[in-house]
Amino acid sequence: MALAGPGTRGRALRWPRVLLFGDSITEYSFQENGWGANLADRLVRKCDVLNRGISGYNTRWAKLILPRLITESTSAESIVAITIFFGANDSALKELNPKQHVPLEEYALNLKSMIQYLKSVDITEDRIILITPPPLQESAWEKACLAKGDKLNRCNATTGEYAQACVQVARDCGTDVLDLWTLMQKNQDFSSYLSDGLHLSPKGNNFLAAQLWSRLENKVSTLPSLLPYWRDVDHTNPEASLL
């Protein structure tokens, strides 16, 4: 049997999208039990969850590539939510990691610049979620650094300053924010949330997924399931249900 011709096809199916933009903590989020994979599973048949995490990147570099990832003409209208999750690299200590370090004031300005760009392509504030860096477990991260022949190049207090700046940017710009740095430390021993002192463990991924879903759910709750449930397809005339 021939496929339906061009004249009989329904309109193209367009999946809405949730875009995850960040550093390695985002890049790794589609690994087994990752927070991004968790979101993709929750949203299957409602929207695509796109991983645009780039390991090692900071806001200085992210600001430059964001317009290459999202353009008004090709993609902005289909984005129902976007997370911006940077700071773990920006907050690296300048004297020990000058390549990734971004000064605190510039970090805040870079976040604002990215929000302003998104607004310029009609992605409104209510679709943007900033995520602060998680807390740093210094002894575990120091072991990871020493294994590479490096000194401890981050500290939790400094990471906290960047987290506070991220929260303030969200307040100033009217976006949502997930203050991971603060939330994870409500449990005094937050080390179980981290695999190496910096990146997330399975428990940390689950924690982030749950916290993010509470902020994302209202942005996607009205999205319908795409294509009818199989029992609802008219098997005697599937074209009536599917085209």
Domains of the chain: 17-220 (3.40.50.1110)
Mean pLDDT, the chain, rounded, equals 91
* Between residues 109 and 5, the one the model is more confident about: 109
Confidence of residue 8 (pLDDT cuts 50, 70, 90): very low
73 among known catalytic residues: no
The catalytically annotated residue of 24, 75, 113, 192 is: 24
Residue labelled with tokens 């510039």? 106
- Residue 6 CA to residue 8 CA, distance in Å, equals 6
Range with the lowest mean pLDDT among 3-7, 26-30, 187-191? 3-7
24 among known catalytic residues: yes
235 among known catalytic residues: no
10 and 178 Cβ atoms separated by less than 8 Å: no
The catalytically annotated residue of 126, 196, 232, 234 is: 196
Contacts of 63 (CB under 8 A, 6+ apart): 110, 113, 114, 117
pLDDT at 2: 41
Read off the pLDDT of each residue in 52-71 and give the average, rounded to a whole number: 96
Rounded to an integer, what is the distance from CA 2 to the centroid of its chain?
Answer: 43
Give yes or no for residue 164 having a pLDDT over 80: yes
Sign of the C-alpha dihedral, residues 19, 23, 25, 30? positive
Give yes or no for residue 126 having a pLDDT over 60: yes
Q: What percent of the chain has pLDDT over 90?
A: 71
Query: Could you tell me where the DSSP H helices lie in the chain?
Result: 24-27, 35-42, 59-69, 104-120, 138-147, 156-173, 180-184, 202-220, 238-242
pLDDT at 118: 95
Give yes or no for residue 152 having a pLDDT over 90: no
Q: How many of the other CB atoms lie within 10 Å of CB of 26?
A: 24
Give the tens place of pLDDT for each residue, 176-212: 999 999 999 997 789 999 999 999 999 999 999 999 9
Phi, psi (degrees; rounded to nearest 5) at 233: -75, 130
pTM value? 0.91
Range with the lowest mean pLDDT among 16-30, 84-98, 134-148? 134-148
pLDDT at 96: 92
Give yes or no for residue 60 having a pLDDT over 90: yes
The catalytically annotated residue of 90, 91, 176, 199 is: 199
Total number of residues shown for the chain: 243
